[in-house]
Amino acid sequence: MYIVHGPAASPFVRKLCIFLGEKGLAFERRELDPLDKSPRFLAMNPIGRVPILEEPDGNLVSDSSVICDYLERIHPTPPLFPVEPRARARALWLEEYADTKLVEICARVYWMQVLIPARSGQPVDADAVKEYVDQEFPTVLGYFESCAPATDAIVDGQFGIADIALASPIRLLSLAGDPLDASRWPRFDAYTRRVLARPAAVALHEAELHATEVFGRTGNAPTGTTATGTA
Ligand SMILES: N[C@@H](CCC(=O)N[C@@H](CS)C(=O)NCC(=O)O)C(=O)O
């Protein structure tokens, strides 16, 4: 069985877990705090980032994009990457945009709503969150609103890596108690809701809520070796 190292709240861990679930591959998720750069963690991935995939023979693969591409090659069915070159480029571009700017702005809201209050002991600065969202969201979300599909597949009607990568950071907003504003971005909101309603994403809910509860109470990621989120 595969092992995914990293907390369930991480958008990159979520992306990988959904990908594995959509492939029908069994996995266990093991807690690993990405901010605690322990020697063990850095020996697994010298960059000190999660997710890390551990294969049954102990082989380690890092970086959600590298891992998903690798899994696609060794488990091609069902296909989650387009084959046609232009569609593939479009999917990889959307994955890249999601992994960079979309993660950045959604993770920032999660930090402001969950982690900063836990660490500072101060209440959520709702004005600062609103100001951040008003300033940073329109350009990014406006683009995704303009190309959001009426289905759960943004590239060529075939569900896959782009859909998983786009929905994964959006889930952070709900976990932070500050969901995407459906009145401003109705098509993208409905689209990501459809993706997140698929069984592979729903299977992660319990672990995501637990991680957020721990982050909000302690300011740190869950620890221990508890395996959760098996799909
Ligand atoms: N490109 C990487 C990004 C992974 C990443 O940034 N993960 C975050 C957790 S959401 C992390 O490990 N952060 C720790 C750090 O940057 O120190 C991927 O796709 O896996």
Q: Are 167 and 12 in contact (CB under 8 A)?
A: no
Phi-psi region at 24: left, alpha or beta (left = phi > 0; alpha = psi -120 to 50): left
Check: CB of residue 27 under 8 Å from CB of residue 4: yes
Q: What is the pLDDT of residues 118-163, one digit of tens each?
A: 999 999 999 999 999 999 999 999 999 999 999 999 999 999 999 9
Residue 204 in contact with residue 196, Cβ under 8 Å? no
Predicted pLDDT at 226: 52
Q: Which stretches of the chain drop beneath a pLDDT of 70? A: 225-231
Nearest C-alpha to atom 16 of ligand 1 is from which residue?
49
The reply to whether ligand 1 has any atom less than 6 angstroms from the CB of 198 is no
Query: Which pLDDT score is estimated for 224?
Result: 72
d(CA 94, CA 223): 32
156 vs 227: CA distance, rounded Å? 36
E strand map for 6-120: 27-30, 52-54, 60-62
Instruction: Tell me the CA–centroid distance for residue 110 and ligand 1, in Å.
Output: 15
Pocket flag, ligand 1, residue 169 (CB < 6 Å): no
- CB of 69 sitting under 6 A from ligand 1: no
Determine what percent of the chain is predicted with pLDDT higher than 90.
96
In this prediction, residue 225 carries a pLDDT of: 53
pLDDT at residue number 173: 98
**pTM assigned to the model:** 0.96
All domains in the chain, ordered by first residue: 2-79+202-228 (3.40.30.10), 85-198 (1.20.1050.10)
Cβ proximity of 22 and 80 under 8 Å? yes
Share of the chain above pLDDT 70, in %: 97
* Euclidean distance between CA atoms 151 and 154, whole angstroms: 8
